[in-house]
Every structure is written in C-alpha cells, then in structure tokens.
C-alpha cells in the first residue's frame, strides 16, 4: 500500500488570514472625502485617498493588494484581491458601466470600480473632512496589558506540544520573545495553537502501547 502524506490543515491558514484581516481593518486610517465631483458638486474620496487609508495597515498584517481587469460572460470588471502570506485570498468583483465609449470613459469606470472594490472588501466608508473630526477629542485608549504568567505558560506548553517554531511564531506576532506579547494577542494565539493541536494527526498504535 502507498503511504499517504498528511496534508497541512487549511483551516489554520484561513484562521490566520482572518485574524490578520480583522487586525488590519482596525488599523486602517479614515477615508477622507478629499475631492469634488465637478458635475454633481459633491465631495468624494478619490482612489489615492482610498489606497492611503488602508495600504499600510494591510501590508503590516501580511496582505498584498492586487487590482486586475478581466472579462467574462457578464462583461468587463475589476477584481480586487487581498492576498495573505498564507496563500488565502479575499476577493471582490465590480463590473464596469461606461458612460462614454472611449478610453477616458473606460479609465473613469476602472478608477470607480477600484475605489469601491477596495472600500467594500476592506470594510471602509468615506468620511467628510469638514474640520469637525479634528475638533473632536480623541478617545482615550487603554494601554494593552502584558501577557499574564498563565498565558505565557500555556503558550509555551502548546508550542512544545504542536512542535511550532518559536522564532517564526514570535515573528508572526511581531514580538522578539514570548514575554513581549500582549494579553489580547495571547488569547488569539492560544486559540490558534489549540486548534492546531486538535487537528494534528494522531499517532497510530503500533501494538507497543501498554
């Protein structure tokens, strides 16, 4: 019989990608309406403002952003993809509606689709830059608490049990060593390691167990 290699559970990659997407969304800057539509006289956030609001946060949490053009039976479209280092992808498609059948009309439609495809995928909405935002007092944020002794011990045990590379583990959570982790990240890390441990293939009983 041919031995079957145990494949890495894909659910771990999906969970890592989701954790990072949630963190990236929380770290995005406001999308400011920085331009004026000359036809409708209304303010809107141009493509540059949309990208500036989220690109840095997405990169910090292991996502690349791609926006590509395509065509299918429904018409031309722009596909926005958030590609995580694990290989997981989050994608959105916006179909093009041209008001002019020339390159300017095509370019405008593509820019529009890129703006709304990116905003929709990242979960952002433009805000008015009328000075009110600057005048509001910034909410007081509590400093993140350091990892507790119990959390540190549990993570240490789980790293050993799952044969996880501690150096790569710390790099993923952006800390130099386990002691540097914060309690909020520690909670997520423990959940991920427990899931990895539960899905690890069981050692087969070869008859030597007593």
Identify which has the larger pLDDT, 99 or 89: 89
- Both 56 and 154 in one domain: the answer is no
- Provide the domain limits for residue 169: 144-199
- Both 101 and 33 in one domain: the answer is yes
Is there a domain that residue 17 lies in? no
- Both 65 and 153 in one domain: the answer is no
Is there a domain that residue 209 lies in? no
**Is residue 66 pLDDT above 80, yes or no?**
yes
Which of 130, 162, 190 is the last residue in one of the domains? 130
Number of domains in the chain: 2
**Is residue 2 pLDDT above 70, yes or no?**
no
Which of 130, 161, 179 is the last residue in one of the domains? 130
Helices 10-27 and 47-60 sit at what angle, rounded to 10 degrees? Answer: 130
Is there a domain that residue 207 lies in? no
Is there a domain that residue 62 lies in? yes
Percent over 70 (pLDDT), the chain: 82
Which of 130, 154, 187 is the last residue in one of the domains? 130
- Both 126 and 150 in one domain: the answer is no
Q: Cβ of 130: how many Cβ atoms within 10 Å?
A: 10
Q: Cβ of 155: how many Cβ atoms within 10 Å?
A: 21
């Amino acid at each position: 019989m041919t031995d079957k290699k145990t494949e890495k559970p894909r659910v771990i990659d999906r969970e890592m990608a989701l954790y990072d997407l949630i963190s990236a969304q929380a770290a995005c800057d406001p999308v400011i309406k920085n331009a004026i539509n000359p036809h409708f006289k209304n303010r809107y956030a141009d493509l540059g403002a949309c990208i500036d609001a989220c690109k840095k946060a997405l990169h910090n949490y292991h996502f690349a952003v791609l926006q590509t053009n395509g065509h299918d039976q429904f018409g031309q479209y722009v596909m926005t993809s958030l590609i995580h280092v694990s290989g997981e992808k989050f994608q959105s498609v916006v179909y093009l509606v041209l008001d002019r059948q020339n390159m300017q009309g095509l370019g405008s439609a593509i820019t529009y689709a890129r703006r709304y495809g990116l905003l929709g995928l990242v979960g952002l909405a433009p805000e008015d830059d009328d000075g009110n935002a600057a005048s509001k007092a910034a909410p007081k944020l509590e400093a993140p608490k350091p990892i507790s002794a119990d959390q540190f011990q549990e993570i240490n045990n789980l790293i050993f049990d799952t044969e996880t590379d501690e150096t790569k583990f710390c790099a993923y959570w952006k800390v130099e060593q386990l002691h540097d982790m914060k309690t909020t990240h520690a909670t997520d890390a423990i959940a991920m390691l427990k899931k990895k441990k539960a899905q690890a293939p069981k050692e087969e009983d070869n008859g030597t167990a007593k």
